[in-house]
Amino acid sequence: MRKVSPNVKKEMLERPEKCERYEMFHDHICQGRLTWEHAIIYAGRQVDASWAIIKICAWSHDVDEFQDGHHLDKNKNEYIALKKLTPELLKQYPRNNWEQKLKYLDAKYNN
Residue 66 has pLDDT above 70, yes or no: no
Residue at 92 is within a domain:
yes
Residue at 1 is within a domain:
no
Q: CB under 8 Å to 86, separation ≥6 — which residues?
A: none
Higher-pLDDT residue of 68, 29: 29
Residue at 20 is within a domain:
yes
What average pLDDT does the chain have? Answer: 90
pLDDT of residue 53: 97
pLDDT of residue 7: 96
* Residue 100: CB atoms within 10 Å: 9
Residue at 49 is within a domain:
yes
Q: How far apart are CA 11 and CA 70, in angstroms?
A: 29
Please name the amino acid found at residue 73: D
Q: Which long-range contacts (CB under 8 A, 24 or more apart) does 64-73 make?
A: 71/28, 73/21
Residue at 24 is within a domain:
yes
Residue 72 has pLDDT above 80, yes or no: yes
Residue at 38 is within a domain:
yes
Count how many domains the chain has.
1
Residue 36 has pLDDT above 60, yes or no: yes
Residue at 19 is within a domain:
yes
pLDDT band at 93 (very low <50, low <70, confident <90, very high): confident
- Give the residue numbers spanning the domain of 54: 6-109
